[in-house]
Structure 1
């Protein structure tokens, strides 16, 4: 086998490292399944959701490739930092710092230009200051709500999460898509009426 250049060596090393995302499991179960979703499955699902639901973004001139890049990059840090359950107040303490360290290590495996781009995309997603980041984050918040609804509130019940807490946590969906937030609010009202919350 021939020796490849240093740039390609770094890129392929990174690609092999991020395979570990398939081994990071979330607190959301697959729909109608006892198995927990892994981060790689979550990322794929979010990317497709963003493409399908793009028309509902508050800003019509979003850059979809940037949205997709943010979605593909933002959870890679969980390879080192692990997944933090959205309603775990104790676990959320120091989450940004843990994930920032993970971003430095993981993205630091890449050539400098790609390292800088991935860190910028990750930080942009975390800060939710751009229209692209707001829409990407809206999709990221909506997906587990859909899973929980389809699973008759399984994770909400298991962790004792009340409907008002779900609404408070996910209200930021409206920053990226008012239409998707209206849908999410109605979904939670339906979940309450169906007894999906204890």
Structure 2
């Protein structure tokens, strides 16, 4: 198989990402977002918001990260970030998926994308930190627009959401300040409940 044929096979394979449903719904909508829409949205967000990164970043690498970060879910499926039964961190299942799917490509491209995917998962470089900021910001905007969205649907408390969202700070202090204010507004509006409010409803 030629390099071009391998690349076309990969392009056809990742079309499956459009079928992977996320728990989060589109802004002001009751339709679930799919992984392809999510990845596209993050890529545009990275372009628009890159000036707020804490550190100098290679924007093209960030765009590559957010476009490919969920491709493994073609095999592994989407794990809801607030799922208490299944760990949301990098799993052996996802690594196998990365090697299979990216492995369709010519060796050099496959190795590059696997490395970029692993860099995002590890979350230690400036690019990975900013990419993760985008990944955590988008569903925050969606749930806010949907009167709590998945937070309300799955009875997720403020403290749990806050713990997951504070990762934004690692990539952008400015965006985290915006996000933190938004979280507090959701509490004030009664959309997000604190643990004590859930255990002792007034």
Give the TM-score range, shorter chain. over 0.9
Of 126-135 and 84-93, more deviation after overlay is shown by 84-93
Unaligned runs of 5+ in 1: none
Distance change in 2, residues 1:94/1:122 (3 Å): closer
2:134 is the counterpart of 1:139: yes
Return the alpha-carbon distance in structure 2 between the equivalents of residues 26 and 84 of structure 1: 8
Following TM superposition, where does structure 1 have runs of at least 4 consecutive aligned residues deviating by more than 6 angstroms? none
Alignment counterpart, residue 160 of structure 1, candidates 151, 155, 164 = 155
* Aligned twin of 1:118: 113
2:36 is the counterpart of 1:40: yes
TM-score, normalised to structure 1, is 0.94
Alignment counterpart, residue 151 of structure 1, candidates 134, 146, 153 = 146
Alignment counterpart, residue 4 of structure 2, candidates 1, 4, 8 = 8
Alignment counterpart, residue 14 of structure 2, candidates 8, 14, 18 = 18
CA apart distance, 1:46? 0.3
Residue deviations 1:13-37 (CA, integer Å, cap 9, x gap) = 0000000000000000111211100
State how many pairs are aligned.
193
* Aligned twin of 1:169: 164
Unaligned runs of 5+ in 2: 194-202
Return the alpha-carbon distance in structure 1 between the equivalents of residues 40 and 188 of structure 2: 31
CA apart distance, 1:171? 1.0
CA RMSD between the two structures: 1.2
Return the alpha-carbon distance in structure 2 between the equivalents of residues 33 and 169 of structure 1: 23
Matched residue SS, 1:180: helix
TM-score, normalised to structure 2, is 0.93
Task: Tell me, yes or no, if the aligned pair for 1:154 and 1:196 is still in contact at 8 Å.
Answer: no
